[in-house]
Amino acid sequence: MTNNRVKLWVGLGAFVFAAGAGEHAAEPAAAETLAEAPAKTATYAPPRTMTAIQLASAGGEGGEGAEGGEGGEGGEGGEGGEGGEGGEGGAGAGLSADQGYLTQLMLMHGHLRIGKEIFDAGKPEDAVMHFRHPVEEIYAGLAPALESRGVAGFKGELEELAEHVEANDASKVHAYLDKVLSHVDSAQDAIAPSVQSDPSFVVPVVVALLKQSAAEYGAAIKDGRVVNVAEYQDSRGFVWAGRDLLGSVASRLYDRDAHDFEEVVEKYEDLMQAWPNAMPPHDPVMTPSEVNAAVSLVELELNGFVTESYGGEQGGEGGEGGEGGEGGETG
């Protein structure tokens, strides 16, 4: 692995850029070698705290990604709250309340990311479901956690954002996405900065995101064919959200053990090959079993960086499911 590739993960500084119709940052395409890829236009504004890994992974391949692919789309059930049972709301099960809370916020980022990637490719009719998912699948369980932490709610902005996507109003989509991301950043600020920057806190959340991604991927692929495009796209959004979050502590991981961190980068990039574009390829690059195995390898490499526990098995706040109850994505 080249030094340049690792530097992209570790980060060369902190970056902030907006998702609006104004200036966008240039960034490498995901499917190409990170150190040598040509610049493309960003299609998503990740969380405020950005390192070079996040800039590189923020969605440069978006425009091309929505072409091609096939497969039907199925409905999704509701989820439990933070630490609740079933679906995406159960993705943080077994983690501390704060870790479960961050998991839900990053799942929301994943939905918004893939939605904007598809919208920017000129497919608002395909993107709108992903902008609805944060409200339909996450917000009901997240709301009690926001309230208990004194964080302002933003359900209305999420709903208006989805409406503007459905109307294909690009300027309003960008403006409301800025608002929503600002709210999500504020929600994340409810976690102490010293905790957010601790690999022992962040790594289990990254693993939870990867496991949720693998579950979505497994629901999308049956008998070697894509049967649910929406699940494939959700899984892509979550694996990129995990990468963005991992980037926030990449420098600390590298400083702790450069060789082991290089192994993390290599295994994570191997995993990401399963999602070459926003629309699935005709023949899936990896089987669900291969994705699960790849997630396990990343988890194995990352576990060495967890030196303390933030508590778990707390169940978190919330617990009341969103719409649909059973039958959602498994956590």
Query: What is the pTM (predicted TM-score) of this model?
Result: 0.75
What 3-state class would DSSP assign to 50?
strand
Alpha helices for 43-139 (secondary structure H)? 52-57, 62-65, 97-120, 124-133
Is the model's pLDDT at 268 over the cut of 70? yes
- Rounded to an integer, the average pLDDT of 9-19 is 36
Distances (CA, A) of 137 to 66, 216, 266, 305: 23, 14, 32, 31
Which of 6-15, 88-97, 104-113, 198-207 shows the lowest mean pLDDT across its residues?
Answer: 6-15
Is the model's pLDDT at 83 over the cut of 50? no
Is the model's pLDDT at 272 over the cut of 70? yes
Q: What is the pLDDT of residues 30-75, one digit of tens each?
A: 333 323 333 333 333 444 433 333 444 444 443 344 444 444 343 3
Q: What is the pLDDT of residues 281-293, one digit of tens each?
A: 999 999 999 999 9
Distance, in Å, from the CA atom of 281 to the CA atom of 135, rounded to the nearest integer, reads 28
CA angle 15, 16, 22 (to 5 degrees): 130
Q: Give the start-to-end residue ranges of the domains of the chain.
A: 3-303
Residue 93: pLDDT band (50, 70, 90) is confident
Distance, in Å, from the CA atom of 111 to the CA atom of 237, rounded to the nearest integer, reads 6
Q: What is the pLDDT of residues 230-256, one digit of tens each?
A: 999 999 999 999 999 999 999 999 999
- Rounded to an integer, the average pLDDT of 201-212 is 97
Residue 51's nearest CA partner among 2, 109, 9, 102 is 9
Residue 126's nearest CA partner among 166, 71, 80 is 166
Phi-psi region of 69 (alpha: psi -120 to 50; beta: other; left: phi over 0): left
Tell me the average pLDDT of the chain. Answer: 77
Please give the pLDDT value at position 2: 54
Above pLDDT 90, what percent of the chain? Answer: 64
Residue 112's nearest CA partner among 125, 98, 129, 100 is 129
Q: How far apart are the first and last CA of the chain?
A: 32
Cβ atoms of 331 and 90 closer than 8 Å: yes
- Rounded to an integer, the average pLDDT of 196-208 is 96
How far is CA 224 from its chain centroid?
25
